[in-house]
Amino acid sequence: MEHLLLDRISEQIKANKKVAWATVTKIEGSTPRKEGAMMAIFEDGRTLGTVGGGTFEAVVTEKAKMCLSTGESRAFHFQLNDEEGSLHMQCGGTADVFIKVFVPKDKLLIVGGGHIALELYQLGKLLGFYTAIFEDRESFLSKERFPEADELILGNIEEQLSNYPVDKYCHIVIVTRGHRYDEAALRVVIDRDAGYIGMIGSKNKTKYVMDRMKEAGISTEKIRKVYAPIGLDLGGETPMEIALSILGEILLVKNKRTPQHMRDRIKE
């Protein structure tokens, strides 16, 4: 069973899906299972393996679901007796359980395959992002150009983006060859539940595109979620410098931080 359990957890990780792994790490007295008992808990509520069954396992499963919802791994201590605050079981012992949550890898969805996209891809890989590049020009989307990309998605960009599963672990960067294509891509993703959506462009271009979004009935709330013009104001002009400012902004948003010098965080 242990090998099957590990195989299923590995499959979920490779598929970039969230999964929890509960392990009994310490016991004292009488308990349903020994130390080392394991169980996998999937996002849809299914489980594999067992940490003891009955009330104990049901409570561990609920704790695992809670951890899955927050994406945080946690340790829990359970009293398996009738004392106040316990699980009101007759075993009489105690059990410690560690729930490890494997969260999906952060994805960098790069819309466009030009110079900035190339630098974004390279920097994104260095930072450990799963990278997917969308392009409608075959000459700008090849294994030679993006040798370590996880996905190269060739075809109509609007259609490909519409069909691509987007969640909070997806960070979308729109850097196509022109504002018409940028606007079309933004229309497709602006309603999606992405962790970050950014679009390249000048202040004038951004205002023009956002005005058109308003005219199309897109709410102000959704428009404000778009980072445009994209990136942090680092003063750079080269494709790599622009890519660095974009990835820096993505990390700030992802980690819920604000731009600040570390020295200014030191209290005198």
In degrees, rounded to 5, the angle at the alpha carbon of residue 133 between the alpha carbons of residues 19 and 108 is: 45
In our burial notation (b when 16+ CB lie closer than 10 A, e otherwise), range 151-169 reads ebbbeebbebbeebebeeb
Domains of the chain: total: 2
Q: Which two tokens stand for residue 136?
A: 């409608």
Is residue 177 located within the same domain as residue 65?
Answer: no
Residue 106 per-residue DSSP state: P
CB 18 within 8 A of CB 43: yes
What is the structure's pLDDT at 110?
A: 98
CATH classification of the domain holding 163: 3.40.50.720
3-state secondary structure of 40: strand
Q: What is the pLDDT of residue 90?
A: 56
Residue 118 and residue 35 share a domain: no
Which one-letter amino acid corresponds to residue 218?
I
pLDDT at 230: 93
List of the chain residues with pLDDT < 50 = 84-86
Domain assignment of residue 148, given as a range: 107-254
pTM above 0.85, yes or no: no
Give the pLDDT score at 113: 94
Instruction: Clarify whether residues 93 and 190 are in a common domain.
Output: no
pLDDT of residue 86: 46
Q: How far apart are CA 39 and CA 37, in angstroms?
A: 7
Amino acid 259: pLDDT: 84
